[in-house]
Amino acid sequence: MGPQPAPLPELRLVDHHCHGVLRTHPDRTAFEALLTESDAPAAPGTTFFDTQLGFAVRRLCPPLLGLDPHCAPEPYLARRRELGAEESGRRLLRAAGIAEFLVDTGLPGDLTEPRELAALGGGRAREIVRLEHLAERCADGIADTDDTADTAAPERFVTALATGIRSAARTAAGFKSVAAYRHGLHLDPDEPHRDEVLRAAAHWLDGRSTGTRLGDPVLLRHLLWSAARTGLPLQLHTGFGDPDLRLQHSDPLLLTDFIKAVRPTGCTLVLLHGYPFHRNAGYLAHVFPHVYADVGLALTHTGARATAVLAELLELTPFGKLLFSTDGYGLPELYVVGAHLFREALAELTTALVASGAWSRPDADRVANMIASGNAQRVYGTTATATA
């Protein structure tokens, strides 16, 4: 393999799943923590810079701040601090070249709002509403004004949640669920009855303190079905993530019965990430018309292996069913890496496929544009309602 073909710089990118970036400069420990899905410091004698993602950051980001590629972590972090969070963020995000950001706003931390992220990145932004976060805010709201032991609290919670979802559906581009983290995807597939939901709400609210996370499987199912009924696309975390989840419980195949059950509502399901079960996600996108797959952190975290992983995703996933995202969170570097690796992997794959005669060049360009932005535009609608 010689030098890789130039990435496709002209490719318009819609990042259909990302988060905000930190408003302040992180120190090395905080920076490293955002390079991994681990919830602990690196093992003694190791660093999270010594990962595919760390190497990709060191390759791609230093030149954007005036340093050599592959420069060591310390001078890179020093230069970043010198420029400040806003200026380094602007330089990095602009270089990512993302035209539109769909931003999951349900993560904690001092993060940019969608509008700010779009301004830094020179693009537009829309919101993706995280269901569990919405439900927790509803519960916090109930708690602010009521005695949660109040027998009417479950009713009020369910009503507030319905209102919240309806209201979100008017402006958001879609919903997202992290049921994989909170319970696992081995959920009962059917919509829970109102009585069940009320009982589960009563149980969860009883003695709950503000901020307590929602992990009750009945309430998680209620969220999924409520979102599905809005007609907006519903993103589901699947596969690899932090150790809150059990990886075997985030295999997208566990959603098969839910996918079948929810199909009559006409909703669209987008299976995020999927790695290392991305071939399973591709199968589901292949056989179910309302299911889509995503590249997400399957590329960002595998770095120099992004081409190989994307190739696996493109085995069964119909080309009209795969969507680009960075899953960028906290560090603007993750948007650079996600966007660059995606462009490079697509260019490398399609160059080889065209050279071998397997694909035609016009088809290759058409497919690249579909995955980069066309499929997301069809699934999430036009950008007319973008917030920036």
Site for a copy of itself in 273-312 (CB under 8 A): 275-276, 279-280, 283-284, 286-290, 301-305, 308-309, 311-312
Sign, Cα dihedral of 342, 348, 353, 359:
positive
Residue keyed to tokens 């036009």:
382
Please state the closest distance from residue 88 (CB atom) to a copy of itself, in A. 22
Please state the closest distance from residue 261 (CB atom) to a copy of itself, in A. 13
CB 235 within 8 A of CB 323: no
Instruction: Please identify, among the stretches 146-154, 176-184, 207-215, 243-251, the one whose residues bind a copy of itself according to the rule CB under 8 A.
Output: 243-251
Amino acid at 300: T
Site for a copy of itself in 26-85 (CB under 8 A): 36-48, 50-52, 55-56, 59, 69-70
Sign, Cα dihedral of 224, 290, 254, 36:
negative
Question: Closer CB to a copy of itself, residue 122 or residue 276?
Answer: 276
* Residue 266 interacting with a copy of itself (CB under 8 A): no
* Residue 246 interacting with a copy of itself (CB under 8 A): yes
Question: Closer CB to a copy of itself, residue 9 or residue 45?
Answer: 45
CB 250 within 8 A of CB 154: no
* Residue 256 interacting with a copy of itself (CB under 8 A): yes
Please state the closest distance from residue 369 (CB atom) to a copy of itself, in A. 12
Amino acid at 302: T
Site for a copy of itself in 112-141 (CB under 8 A): none
Q: How many residues bind a copy of itself (CB under 8 A)?
A: 76
Distance CA 238, CA 313 (A): 14
Question: Closer CB to a copy of itself, residue 47 or residue 212?
Answer: 47
* Residue 110 interacting with a copy of itself (CB under 8 A): no
Q: What six digits make up the tokens of 346? A: 């697509």
Please state the closest distance from residue 318 (CB atom) to a copy of itself, in A. 5
Distance CA 259, CA 253 (A): 10
Please state the closest distance from residue 295 (CB atom) to a copy of itself, in A. 14
* Residue 355 interacting with a copy of itself (CB under 8 A): yes
* Residue 383 interacting with a copy of itself (CB under 8 A): no
Q: Name which position in 63, 110, 242, 385 contacts a copy of itself (CB under 8 A).
A: 242
Residue keyed to tokens 């990145």:
121
Helix, strand, coil share of the chain (percent; to 5) = 55, 10, 35
Please state the closest distance from residue 23 (CB atom) to a copy of itself, in A. 27
Q: Which helix (H) or strand (E) holds 102?
A: strand 100-104
Assign 3-class secondary structure to 305-326.
Answer: HHHHHHHHHHHHCCHHHEECCC
CB 272 within 8 A of CB 237: yes
Question: Closer CB to a copy of itself, residue 168 or residue 259?
Answer: 259
Nearest-Å Rg of the Cα atoms of the chain is 21
Instruction: Please identify, among the stretches 9-17, 89-97, 101-109, 359-367, the one whose residues bind a copy of itself according to the rule CB under 8 A.
Output: 359-367
Distance CA 202, CA 75 (A): 53
Instruction: Please identify, among the stretches 118-126, 149-157, 217-225, 248-256, the one whose residues bind a copy of itself according to the rule CB under 8 A.
Output: 248-256
